[in-house]
Amino acid sequence: MSAAISHPAPAVVDEKNAAAALLRPMRYTSLAYRRMTLLLLMVIGWGMFCFIYQAMVGLGVTGLRRPVFWGFFVTDFVFWIGISHAGTLISAILRLTNATWRYPVTRAAEAITVFALMIGGLFPIIHLGRPWLFYWLAPYPSERLIWPNFRSPLEWDFFAISTYLTASSLYLFLPLLPDLALARDRSRGWRHRLYRFLAMSWQGTQIQWRRLELAIQLMAAVVIGIAVSVHTIVSWDFAMSIVPSWHSTIFGPYFVAGAIFSGIAALIVIMAILRRVYHLEDYLQPKHFSNLGKLLLTMTLLWGYFVTAEMITTWYGNLPDEMGTFWSKVSGHYAGLFWVMVLCNFIIPFPLLAIRRLRTIRGTVIASSTILVGMWLERFLIVVPGAANQRLSFNNWYGYYPHWTEISLSLATLCAMALLYMLFTKLFPIISIWELGAAKHNAPVSE
């Protein structure tokens, strides 16, 4: 199907230089990297302390109170699951549409998916009143024949996220195989043993290539379906409830679009960091940022469309139950955050991405950074104002503010994501060597 697939020979043209350059981050570790790791570990350690403290003392250490039962943790959960759509979905779509410029981008994206899912999956546990009993959500055989409640959207989440994590891990692993074999052949000691184990005796025979191609294509198709369903199910945590502003049919596609939106933004930011830190200027070129910027522009417009559709139908319908939430966002207690969100998600990124002259590496990175902030705010503004405005208006409560455990845990999980990603770049080539080699053989990546 794709050019790379029909010519399975790995790394043909300047294999030596390319492979050496792309394996270099795995061989040399700078002092700055070690310092960064230490710093991240310290923040993660603080986060773990906060989690244990919160579990021991009770969730009262957070700012949550009735009726705002969900706050920062659920916001973080939806945000990270959204970020996870960077990888698999974007890389799978690019692979299926045979976009040849994708080669240096896909692995970085797929790794985001796996790690963001791991981080996102932590939050439903962190936010539990009794987190030590989280395994009760799993359908394990119990001698008392007690099963979880399969009618609950939270139970669907459990299955959706575990399926997505399995599929996206496979989808990360499969295209990694030839590169693992390459790393195996060029390493000694424990690394050699690790790669020999992971490469599963990959020899690069014709049969192996054919099967790998088939498996990757198949997983690309499967993973798109799973990714769309996962964020739809996450949105159904809200849409299936009867909380006035949450109970909305638009939430499924709205959340999926927002997920891809924030996912591309995360990918652009991470690519820019990789390019700078590991000197990958030859591989991550302005063209890649520009192309991803175009995708991001599409998603900016789509996001604007969804928000408009959501807000204008609420406003025109003028149902008293929903107007409380509406006005609290547009001109009330949450108006500041709401308009910052519009600024970050639309007003700043739109010109940066729409005007070709501005769609540079710097421009796309600025746009992506504001989008990441804006999309986090968007999730917050769905969760909290919806819970704060009740049908029985005497239950309304605008008193929710995050307390230190919530802020610490949000930061610590961000650091955990960064650390996982950094470790990944030290263990595995962050740019697919064999695909790039094959690409150069067939169609040069330069413009």
Partner 1 sequence: MLNHDSPTTVRPRWAMIIDLNACTGCSACAVACRAENNIAITGPGEAAYNGTIQWMRIERTWKGRGRHFQVENRPVNCQQCDDAPCEPVCPVQATYTNAEGVCVQVYNRCVGTRYCGLNCPYQARFFNWFDYTWPAPMEVQLNPDVSLRTRGIMEKCSFCIQRINAAERQAEREKRPLRVDETQPACAQSCPAQALLFGDIDQPGGRFSANWRDTGLETLLPEVGTQPKVRYARRVAPPRSVLAAVPNSPGAEVEA
Interface ranges with partner 1 (CB under 8 A): 57-60, 64-67, 69-70, 124, 127-130, 133-134, 136-137, 146-149, 151-155, 158, 237, 240-243, 387, 390-392, 394-395, 397, 399
Which residue's CB is nearer to partner 1, number 179 or number 237? Answer: 237
Which residue's CB is nearer to partner 1, number 69 or number 173? Answer: 69
Q: What is the dihedral of CA 67, 116, 251, 388, to 10 degrees?
A: 20
| Omega prior to 139 cis, within 30 of 0 | no
List the beta bridge partners of residue 288: none
Q: What is the dihedral of CA 378, 382, 384, 390, to 10 degrees?
A: 150
Smallest gap, in angstroms, from Cβ of residue 61 to partner 1? 8
Q: What is the phi-psi region of residue 243: left when phi exceeds 0, alpha when psi lies from -120 to 50, beta otherwise? A: beta
Smallest gap, in angstroms, from Cβ of residue 126 to partner 1? 11
Smallest gap, in angstroms, from Cβ of residue 117 to partner 1? 19
Whose tokens are 């080539």? That residue is 429
Separation of alpha carbons 406 and 148, rounded Å: 28
Which residue's CB is nearer to partner 1, number 21 or number 243? Answer: 243
Longest Cα–Cα distance in the chain: 71
Smallest gap, in angstroms, from Cβ of residue 237 to partner 1? 8
Which residue's CB is nearer to partner 1, number 162 or number 331? Answer: 162
Smallest gap, in angstroms, from Cβ of residue 257 to partner 1? 24
Pick from 261, 218, 251, 253: which is nearest to 90 by CA? Answer: 261
Q: What is the phi-psi region of residue 145: left when phi exceeds 0, alpha when psi lies from -120 to 50, beta otherwise? A: left
List the beta bridge partners of residue 68: 65
DSSP 175: G
Separation of alpha carbons 105 and 93, rounded Å: 12
Smallest gap, in angstroms, from Cβ of residue 324 to partner 1? 13
Smallest gap, in angstroms, from Cβ of residue 150 to partner 1? 9
Which residue's CB is nearer to partner 1, number 35 or number 65? Answer: 65
Q: What is the phi-psi region of residue 11: left when phi exceeds 0, alpha when psi lies from -120 to 50, beta otherwise? A: left
User: How many C-beta atoms lie closer than 10 Å to residue 132's C-beta?
Assistant: 9
Separation of alpha carbons 165 and 180, rounded Å: 21
Which residue's CB is nearer to partner 1, number 1 or number 57? Answer: 57
Which residue's CB is nearer to partner 1, number 370 or number 389? Answer: 389
Which residue's CB is nearer to partner 1, number 49 or number 134? Answer: 134
- The answer to whether 283 touches 104, Cβ cutoff 8 Å, is yes
Smallest gap, in angstroms, from Cβ of residue 243 to partner 1? 6
Structure tokens at 402: 């995050």
Smallest gap, in angstroms, from Cβ of residue 305 to partner 1? 28
- The answer to whether 274 touches 319, Cβ cutoff 8 Å, is no
Which residue's CB is nearer to partner 1, number 80 or number 424? Answer: 80
Structure tokens at 54: 């919160």
Return the half-sphere exposure (C-beta side, CA atoms, 13 A cut-off) of residue 152: 10
Smallest gap, in angstroms, from Cβ of residue 238 to partner 1? 9
Which residue's CB is nearer to partner 1, number 137 or number 353? Answer: 137
- Angle between the N-to-C axes of helices 251-277 and 206-239, in degrees from 0 to 180, rounded to the nearest 10: 130
- Which phi and psi (to 5°) does residue 341 adopt? -60, -45
List the beta bridge partners of residue 65: 68
DSSP 345: I
